[in-house]
Structure 1
């Protein structure tokens, strides 16, 4: 096969076309690998966030006794200090 004359325009050989298609395919493979890595990291972060969320909810649910205990202690202290004054 002979190449066309120089004034016929741009000529891209099948080998050049194949090389460009391979380059694009290799780039797509690299992007897919990076995307898979990002999605894997995202899953790990979701699990970590869910774990932290459950821990925070547990801490919030169990902190209510502390103010109640403080209030009861304050009431007992007030009663203890008022009782001698009444007698």
Structure 2
């Protein structure tokens, strides 16, 4: 049979274990909350970067158009310098 001293020791150890588990869960919850906040910030930053990239892509000149324009300007300058500009 178990005496009252042993019961008190077991109860004390169970309380310590419970406290340790509660602290562990609280720490884990805090870490998860921090990770969630960082993930939200990362998502927001990523969305802002995507918007900036989309804006840059809309305003850039396509390379084939730039090449065609350069060729036309070169042709005009050549024609002008060989006889049209005298």
Assess same fold via TM > 0.5: yes
Correspondent of 1:50 among 47, 51, 60: 47
Q: Note if 1:80 corresponds to 2:77.
A: yes
Structure 2: give runs of 5+ residues left out of the alignment: none
More helix as a share of residues: 2
Q: Note if 1:61 corresponds to 2:58.
A: yes
Q: Which has the higher contact order (CA 8 A, sep 6+)?
A: 1
Structure 1: give runs of 5+ residues left out of the alignment: 5-11
TM-score by length of 1: 0.73
Deviation >4 Å, runs of 4+: 83-87
Equivalent positions of 1:3-18 (< 5 A) are 3=6, 13-18=10-15
C-alpha separation between the residues in 1 aligned to 2:13 and 2:80?
101
TM-score by length of 2: 0.74
How many residues are aligned here?
Answer: 80
